[in-house]
């Protein structure tokens, strides 16, 4: 009988600690959001012109690399075809 009471007491403690754990996690999450908001205010965001310029540079690089890799792939494919035939 004593063991049953101990289990019931342990279960009650676990429920209490679980509830406080959830409350603690909610508080931690709120603190995280507040600190994130502070950090976001410190960010120096790029201007519209800078964003457009860097986006165009990335697109040009992607096109150049696509062409380069396509040509290299085609060349190697033809070389392998020539060697195997």
| CA 18 to each of CA 11, 23, 55: distance values in angstroms, whole numbers, following the listed order | 10, 9, 48
Please state the domain extents for the chain.
1-43, 44-85
pLDDT of res. 63: 98
Nearest to 29 by CA among 37, 19, 17: 37
**pLDDT tens per residue, range 34-76:** 999 999 999 999 999 999 999 999 999 999 999 999 999 999 9
């Amino acid at each position: 009988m004593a063991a049953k009471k101990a289990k019931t007491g342990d279960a009650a403690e676990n429920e209490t600690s679980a509830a406080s754990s959830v409350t603690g996690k909610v508080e931690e999450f709120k603190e995280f959001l507040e600190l994130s908001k502070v950090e976001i205010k410190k960010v120096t965001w790029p201007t519209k012109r800078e964003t457009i310029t860097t986006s165009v540079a990335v697109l040009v690089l992607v096109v150049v690399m696509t062409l380069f890799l396509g040509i290299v792939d085609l060349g190697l494919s033809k070389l392998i075809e020539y060697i195997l035939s």
